[in-house]
Amino acid sequence: MWGVLALMVVLSEPVCAQEGENDPLEPVNRAVFEFNRVLDGMFLEPFARIYRYVAPEFLREAIRNFLDNLQTPVVLANDIFQGEPYRAEKTLGRFMLNTIMGLGGLVDVGGLLGMPERHSEDFGQTLAVYGVGDGPYLMLPFFGPSNPRDTMGMVVDVFLDPLNYVGPTGIGFFAAPTEVGLARISAEALTLREQNIEAFDEVKRSSIDLYAATRTLARQLRASEIRNGAPPPIDDIYNEDLYDLDDPEDTDAQ
Amino acid sequence: MLNRSLDRRQLLGLQLALVVLLAGGGARAAVSADAARELIESVGVEVLAVLRNPDLAPQEKFDLLVELLDGPIDLNLIARLILGRHWRTASEAQQAEYLELFRAFALDNLASKLQVYDGQDFEVVGSQSVNDRDALVQSLVSGAGQQPLKVDWRVRERGDGDLVAIDVIIEGISLIVTQRSEFSAVIERSGMDGLLAELRQRV
C-alpha cells in the first residue's frame, strides 16, 4: 500500500491548479460515465424519487443524521491527521452528543444546539493537505468522479472505519457482515441522490457537455472541500489581457 | 555617494513619502472593497424586491430583472473570460455571434432560476479586495430549513470606472471555471463553430 502511495506522490503534480483538463483517459472515462448514467437512470434516480415520495422529510433527515454520525470516526481520524484540533473537537463533541442524547445519531442534537455546519473529511483530503496532487481525472464505475489520490483515500478510509472491525462473530478486519456494509453504502447513495435530484436535473438541463460539466464541478467541489470552504485562490482566469494581447484596455461592455 | 548625500531629514521625508504611498494604495483598495459590497448589497435588495412582489407576472419579473442586472453584470466580459484563449483565435464574426448567443444563453438560465425561487433571503457578509482592480464580496443565501449557501461575487473596477460583477462562486463552484471547461471541451471536439451550433440549439 505504501509503495502505491509513494508512486502516486511521485507521479502526481503539485496541488496548485494546472492549465488544461488533465484527463488522459477521457475516452475510457466517457464510456464509464455513460455506464454510470444508465445505472443512475435505471435504478438510483427512480429509487431516489420513490424514496422522497414515500418517506416524509423528518424521516429522511433522521436517516441522513444517522449515516453522517456513522461516518464520524473516519472524519475524526482525518481531522487529527490534518492537524485540526479545533475541528476534531467539534467532530468528537457532536458524535458524543448525537449518539448518547440523539437516539444513536438519529437526531442531530449538536445542530439543534447551534453547532456550526457538519464538515466532512476523508483520507483523500488528508493526502491533499499533505501536498499530494490529485493526478489525472478518473471516472470510477458506480462511485463516480475521482482521481488516483482520492481513490487511494477511499480505500484507506475503509480500513480506518472502526465499524468494519466489529461484528457478531467477534473483532477483526471485515468481521462486520457484508450485508451491513452493503446496506450502508446503498443507503448513503440513495440519500445523496435524493438530496441532489434538483441539482442534477439543473446540470443536465443547462449543460452543453454533461461529461465536461460533471468533471469540472466534481473538481471544484473537491478543491473547496480540501480548502475547508475557503474562497478559491486568486488566479489568471480573470485576466482577459492574457488572452487578448492585441487589445489590453478593451474591457468595455456593449 | 547616495548614502552620503541623503541626510536624516531627507531620509525621513523619503520614508514619509513611502508611507503615504503605501497607505494611499491601501486606502484605494479598501474603497474598492466597500464599493463592491455596496454594489452587491443594493442590487440584491432590488432583486429581492422584484422577486417578492406578488403583483408581478413571471414575464414582468423577468423583464425587470434583466433591466436591473444588465449594467452591474458585465455579460460581455464574462463571455470573453469564459472563452479564454479561444477568444483570440475566433474570427470577428464568430466573436460577435458568440457574444449574442451567450447573452441569450445566460438570460435563458436566469429565467429557469427564477422559477425555483422560493422565498430565499440574501445577505452580504463581507468583502475584501483581491488585487488592484478586483474585490470579492461574500454573501449568504438562506432558505427555510436549508443550510445557507455561500455565494461569492467577484467585482471588477472596469477601465471606465464602473463596478461590474464578473463571476459568481457558489460553494466554491465558479461560474466562469465551470462554463469555460465545458465550452472548451466542445471547442476542442468540434471547433468554435461547434460551440456556436450547440449554443444556437439551446436558445
Statement: residue B4 has pLDDT above 60:
no
Using beta carbons and an 8 Å cutoff, which residues of A are at the interface with B?
Answer: 21, 117, 198, 202, 205-209, 211-213, 215-217, 220-221, 223-225, 227, 229, 231-232, 234, 237-238, 240, 242-246, 249-254
**Nearest CA of chain B to the CA of A83: how many Å?**
23
A114 alpha carbon, distance to own chain's centre: 24
Q: N- to C-terminal Cα distance for chain A?
A: 57
Q: What is the pLDDT of residues B79-103, one digit of tens each?
A: 999 998 899 999 999 999 999 999 9
Q: What is the pLDDT of residues A91-109, one digit of tens each?
A: 999 999 999 999 999 999 9
**Nearest CA of chain A to the CA of B14: how many Å?**
33
Nearest CB among A232, A240, A242 relative to B172 is that of A232
Interface contacts A/B by beta carbons within 8 Å: 109
Q: What pLDDT is recorded for position A181?
A: 86
Do B199 and A208 make contact, defined as CB atoms within 8 angstroms?
yes
Q: Find chain A residues with C-beta within 8 A of B178's C-beta.
A: 213, 216-217, 220
Q: What is the pLDDT of residues B169-181, one digit of tens each?
A: 998 899 999 999 9
The interface predicted TM-score of the complex, written ipTM, equals 0.77
**Nearest CA of chain B to the CA of A220: how many Å?**
6
